[in-house]
Structure 1
Amino acid sequence: MPLPFRTIGFDLDGTLLDTSGDLAATLNRVLAEDGRPALPLDRILSMVGRGVHKLLEQAVAATGGGDAAVVARLYPRFVATYGDHIAEHSRLYPGVLDALDALAAQGITLAVVTNKLEALSLPLLEATGLLPRFTTVIGGDTLGPGTAKPSPAPILEMVRRCGDPAAFVGDSIYDVQAAQAATVPVIACSFGFSQVPVATLGAEAVIDSFAELLPALEALRPISV
């Protein structure tokens, strides 16, 4: 059954890829270099989702505190360190490639819309073999300050670049809020980094694995406005 969408967009961390190992290792390495204690993985994942700056703000607050100057000092260290270790522990979630192949076989345009910096997203996608599958990659900084999810701006830009009607797949409240604000139906992944049950996020559908993605998309319809 043909899908009723021209474009399907995906979040990156916690949706296409389990990047928790590299994010945690990078953050704890940067914190250690600054004389701060390490944070456990579950605490780090509770901070992930709104980009590097927000991650560092929360990590600094959780490890003794500090002002904006501390965050500004750690920011380039984090970006450089993460870039040097971009995919040492990151892995595709099971079924990702099969799902992307099935969508491409239907002529659907695929996109990535993430709050990760574009300059980090592109090498991560390349290192994991995913980059050629996507027509466009929109990072948290691609459209300028203040436009990362939950702003609808990057989802709207995805639609502008790739075509309407569109649907989106993500794992966080920021994905759901951004997509719905852009009047794009959204599917939430229960296996990602959400710190609350994904059933409470208000997505149009929830999947427990990528094997469920196509049936979930078949059941969706574009949102009428």
Structure 2
Amino acid sequence: MTRPKLLIFDLDGTLIDSRRDLIECVNATLRHCNLPPLHDDRIAGFIGDGATALVERSLQASAGDPSFRHHKALTFFLSYYREHLLDHTEVYPGVLSSLAALMTSPNAPLMAVLTNKPVNPSRRICDALRLTPYFFGNYGGNSFTTKKPDPEGLLAIWREAEQLGGERLQAHEIIMVGDSEVDIRTARNAGIGAWGCMWGFATSKMLAEGPDALAQNATDWLALVQAGDGVP
């Protein structure tokens, strides 16, 4: 395995545990639409494709109608989430120390965030939880014309990293790190490697996509990077 020069991280379920805040905001939205709440695990299964998909899937599941739409629901959700996005959300254990170790390691890889969450909430969360200094960029589901698993955003980050580093990067030198099948598919669509995180929201779906390596916890990231140099 080649030592990676660029690591692109998912946010929810990978760097941060936002499960409780997202669930509570979805159920607040359902109440706003006069619909019954959903079980936590049902909502968690809808996370990963951005706010629009999360709200739409939750509305349809609560209403019991696959065609159900509520034009004001997404607006309410986004407004409510802006006020509550840090009520319970926290960094997963070991993430901050692992990012610090990666940043200070010899031949440190460049690092960025690519999430399907809208970019402003993503940056607010990363600022508040002291994640921002580790990344040269933080891009959300509305930063580009498409979302993951379309590779557009990843390819843009790839080009930016080349400009920052002053060298061309090969596909085998780039890794997408995430907890869901969306992240693995994004990596495959861009022709790069993928590491799966075993502590997120969609472990079984992620595993079904066959990531190249697995991290049991965040401290495994440094070991995976070092493995490219033959470092045990």
Q: Distance in 2 between matches of 1:220 and 1:33?
A: 51
Contact 1:185 1:220 in 2 (8 A): no
Say yes or no: does 1:182 pair with 2:186: no
**Counterparts in 2 of 1:195 and 1:166: CA distance versus 1, 3 Å:** closer
Structure 1 runs of 4+ with >6 Å offset: none
Determine the structure 2 residue equivalent to 1:125: 126
**Counterparts in 2 of 1:188 and 1:215: CA distance versus 1, 3 Å:** same
Determine the structure 2 residue equivalent to 1:211: 219
Determine the structure 2 residue equivalent to 1:22: 21
Determine the structure 2 residue equivalent to 1:40: 39
Contact 2:60 2:66 in 1 (8 A): yes
Q: Distance in 1 between matches of 2:83 and 2:12?
A: 17
1:125 positional shift: 1.0
Determine the structure 2 residue equivalent to 1:142: 143
Say yes or no: does 1:191 pair with 2:192: no
Aligned with 1:132: secondary structure? helix
1:135 positional shift: 0.6
Aligned equivalent of 1:173, options 149, 168, 181: 181
Aligned residues with identical type, % of pairs:
31
Determine the structure 1 residue equivalent to 2:166: none
Once the two structures are superposed, the pairs formed by residues 47-196 of structure 1 within 5 Å of their partners are: 47-64=46-63, 65=65, 67=67, 69-70=69-70, 72-106=71-105, 107-144=108-145, 147-163=146-162, 164=169, 165-194=173-202, 196=204
| Structure 1: 5+ residue stretches without partners | none
Aligned with 1:123: secondary structure? helix
**CA-atom RMSD in angstroms:** 1.8
**TM-score, length-normalised on structure 2?**
0.87
Contact 1:190 1:197 in 2 (8 A): no
Q: Distance in 2 between matches of 1:62 and 1:28?
A: 12
1:33 positional shift: 1.5
| Structure 2: 5+ residue stretches without partners | 163-168
The one-letter code sitting in structure 1 at the alignment partner of 2:134 is: R
**TM-score, length-normalised on structure 1?**
0.90
1:69 positional shift: 4.9
Aligned with 2:182: secondary structure? helix
Give CA-to-partner distance per residue, 1:150-192, whole Å, 9 cap, x none: 1111111111111333212101111001012112111000110
Q: Distance in 2 between matches of 1:86 and 1:45?
A: 15
Determine the structure 1 residue equivalent to 2:165: none
1:68 positional shift: 6.8
Q: Distance in 2 between matches of 1:158 and 1:43?
A: 32
Q: Distance in 2 between matches of 1:97 and 1:90?
A: 14
Q: Distance in 2 between matches of 1:200 and 1:215?
A: 23
Aligned with 1:203: secondary structure? coil
